[in-house]
Chains A and B, each alone.
Chain A
Amino acid sequence: MKFEIKKKDNKNVIFIEDILFDWEFELKDLEEAVMFAGNDECIKKAIHGDIKSYLLESLSEFLQKEVTISDIINAIKTGKI
């Protein structure tokens, strides 16, 4: 499948076969998470992990197949996923 990164509303977004993968995370939630995490490394990693799994679940659902971060990095480089 064709995989492209394009600019939309000043953001880099993913297009698959010319269809926008419409995804976002709430910046406000992230700011609250920053307050919550403080200096705790485990909580900080958990917040990253939470957003990562949210992204992968959403993209996998969009593509109808399971994808990993490695697959996305590869797709950015090759233009195919």
Chain B
Amino acid sequence: MITVEENDDRFYIKKSKIKNAGKGVFAKRDIKKNEFLNIIGVAVKLNSPSMECTHYADRYKFAYRDKDFDRVIVPMGYGGIVNHTTNKQEQNVEIRCDRSNNSSNPSAGFMSYYFIKNVKKDEEVLGNYNNSFQKTLDWAKPKSESINKDINEWLEFLNYDLYDLKTLKELIKLD
């Protein structure tokens, strides 16, 4: 059995200031812009028995961007109960994927809430549930597959440098 433990000591849980939102995440100390809160949990494959068996958590699952876009995260830490507001003034975090994150928590993936502004002690952590990240995934998946299919041909074509397209190859290097 895997034990998942949230050990980020910068936060605590209490009743959210958002009406009918239940519990929320609050800052235990002042937090600076660009600090981040790792979303810890377990990754579950899409279209799998585990996905169905965790249907109770569907509304909390995060799209998990891996090579094949085939997983979601079932959050098991503070990231799972960060509340969301449509009021941009109140939003202080946004979801990002960053593979360079170095978390001490073995249950952390590459998904994090990044603080987009400084947050005072006892302020609630609030994000934006506009599914922009999911929209990015929905956009990226077919486009990346079209390159995967004929990647060598595409790279050969870029070498002809039509319309300065070699810049694309240089700026965005593909492995």
Q: Which residues of A contact B (CB under 8 A)?
A: 5, 11-14, 23-25, 27, 30-31, 33-34, 37-53, 55, 69-70, 72-73, 76
Contact = CB atoms under 8 A, between A and B. Distances in A.
Given A5-B160, A23-B163, A53-B146, A44 B100 contact: no
B65 interface: yes
A27 B167 CA distance: 9
B58 to A, nearest CB: 23
Most buried by A among B150, B162, B173: B162
Given A38-B98, A49-B144, A49-B147, A12 B172 contact: no
Nearest to A47: B172
Given A24-B163, A25-B163, A73-B156, A40 B172 contact: no
B98 A27 contact: no
Interface of B: 65, 67, 69, 97-100, 136, 139-148, 150-151, 153-154, 156-157, 160-165, 167-168, 171-175
B168 A48 contact: yes
Given A11-B163, A23-B163, A31 B172 contact: no
B165 A34 contact: no
Most buried by B among A48, A50, A69: A48
Given A39-B100, A49-B147, A14 B162 contact: yes
Contacts of B156: 73
A81 B92 CA distance: 54
Nearest to B66: A42
Contacts of B174: 41, 44-45, 48
Most buried by B among A14, A46, A51, A55: A46
A55 B164 CA distance: 12
B154 A12 contact: no
Contacts, number: 103
Contact of A11 (B99, B100, B142, B164): B164
A14 B163 CA distance: 8
Most buried by B among A30, A42, A43: A42
A12 B161 CA distance: 7
20 contacts: A11-B163, A11-B164, A13-B162, A13-B163, A24-B164, A25-B168, A27-B164, A30-B168, A45-B144, A45-B147, A45-B151, A46-B140, A47-B168, A47-B172, A49-B142, A50-B143, A53-B143, A73-B153, A73-B156, A73-B157
